[in-house]
A and B are shown apart, each in its own frame.
Chain A
Amino acid sequence: MVSEMKTIRILIGSILLLSMLPAVAADTKALMERYRQSLDQQDAEGLKRLISPDASIRLLLEQPEKEPLVLTLTRQEHLQQLRALWRFSETETYELSDIRTASTNNGKSVSFTQHERYRLLGETLNRQSAITLWAIDENGMPLIVRIEALTREW
């Protein structure tokens, strides 16, 4: 009897989890579309709407023969850097790949690889970042509350 109850509970749990997965995938797909669109259109305001004002943004810059340099930015600092990059760069490209989604305790996360290439100030800057965005549901829309990026530049 106990064993049967346990089986039922696992079954119900699995059904609930399976029913949630498409919602997670749909939300994160919309989030990623808006994220990609904001980058492509150099739309800092669009990106700002995706990120919570008090989001935790952590950049880990890989250093040769050293531990990565860890920098914590505010949303304002993060967006200011993007705006300045767009202003100074002559050309820029963004490629997002290897997108994976997952559910977390209070929302969802999306991990992906972002390759950026800029031509600015007579030089070329390449960046490859392993990025994870953590998002919560805010009035039916995903809102990024945490960003972590491990970045290599060359």
Chain B
Amino acid sequence: MLRILIPVLLMLPVLANAKTICVFSLIGAQGELWELMTDYRIAATGWGEEIELRPFTNERVAAEDLKAGLCDGLMMTGIKARQFVPFSGSIDSIGGLHNYDSLRVMIELAAHPQLAPSMRNGAWETAGILPLGAAYIFLKDRRITGVEDLAGKRMAVFDSDRAQVLMCERISVIPELSDVSNFSNKFNNNVVDLIAAPATAYMALELYRGVGAHGMVVKLPVAQLTMQLVVNHDKFDDAFLNQSRRFLADHYDDAMRIVHAAEDEMLFVYPPPDKDRSHHEQMKNESRTFLIESGVYHEDAMRWLKKARCKVSPERSECSNGQPW
């Protein structure tokens, strides 16, 4: 009896000290993200922390539990993470990063110990970032061929993302306040005419139903979306946080394999019309500047995003214009 009890009693302090990392995933405790976080939990043991994972299918509830201290950390969308750490949350900015190479550069930068102070905001610190895929515009009607056709159309926007609301107003689109748990239903059930979403949501949220036989997906990255692990800074030491950021950055390629596979499944995905191609970069630049000046994005983060864009594409005209972002 004692032989059984003693090891159990010895383990109790360890379990009691286990940190709770909550994981937002629409499909709960399954799928690639959950598997990756299970690997993270095992790796964390080697960094001296016992981790308990808790799945959440509702991001809003998970964020409230993080604030209430019921989660010591939360893996959530970058858009949601912006309210906790505006610096890293600005990586998902509209027009912020133009391709996956620049996203890789930015995630690597964010994992560098020298940038660790920027990863912290008060009680919160970003302990790692994963790519979720580019956000594309999904339309119910492919006769919508330009921004001018969008006036008066309804778009499901995340209520936690002021950027989307401001952008809608800027192009005379009617914003329909939504969240990650209901925006796809609004699109699939004709409540809205368009949404922005990554390919990774396409099969999981059955967005092909909303696109139907006569809609389209515009193959133009509006933003590079991420999943970000935000933790309560006081619960983890700096060495752990650096290792955590390094671990997730090292899984960039694994996450991108999922993104590419999802993008390869999409139906009626077309590049923007030839007539608009030259305008798109200008439109994205103007949108980004408008949103920075509106106070939506973290200015220092936007400087780093420009560095990432110019590192992978030094030929971009902005790289020699002397502007900070």
Report which B residues bind A (CB closer than 8 A): 142-143, 145, 208-209, 212-214, 219, 264-271, 273-275
Task: Report A42 CB to chain B, min CB distance, Å.
Answer: 14
The reply to whether B275 and A70 form a contact with Cβ atoms under 8 Å apart is: yes
Residues on B with C-beta less than 8 A from A121 are 208-209, 212-213
Residues of A within 8 A of B275 (CB): 70
Nearest CB on A from B77, distance (A) = 26
* Interface pairs A-B: 9 shortest CB-CB: A123-B213, A84-B267, A125-B213, A70-B274, A69-B145, A121-B212, A88-B267, A71-B270, A69-B273
**How many angstroms from the CA of A122 to the CA of B213 in the assembled complex?**
8
- A41-B118 Cα distance, complex, nearest whole Å: 55
Q: Is the CB of B270 within 8 A of A120?
A: no
A85 CA to B214 CA, complexed, in Å = 12
- Other 7 A-B pairs with CB < 8 A, given A73-B271, A88-B208: A61-B142, A66-B145, A70-B274, A71-B270, A80-B269, A81-B267, A153-B214
Taking the complex as formed, is A6 at the interface, i.e. its CB lies under 8 A from any CB of chain B?
no
A72 within 8 A of B: yes
For residue A70, which residues in chain B have a CB less than 8 angstroms away from its CB?
A: 273-275
| Contact partners of B271 in chain A: CB under 8 A | 71-73, 77
Selected from A59, A69, A120, the residue in CB contact (under 8 A) with B213 is A120
Given contacts A69-B273, A71-B274, contact A64 B267 (CB under 8 A): no
Rounded to whole angstroms, the CA-CA distance of A72 and B271 in the bound complex is 7
| Cα–Cα distance between A153 and B268 once the two chains are bound (Å) | 13
B residues near A66, Cβ cutoff 8 Å: 145
Interface pairs (18), CB distance under 8 Å: A61-B142, A70-B274, A71-B273, A77-B269, A77-B270, A81-B268, A81-B269, A84-B268, A84-B269, A85-B267, A87-B267, A88-B208, A120-B267, A121-B208, A121-B209, A123-B212, A124-B213, A153-B214
**Which of A61, A77, A120, A121 has the most B CB atoms < 10 Å from its CB?**
A121
CB distance from B221 to the nearest CB of A (A): 15
Interface centre among A87, A88, A125 (most CB of B within 10 A): A88
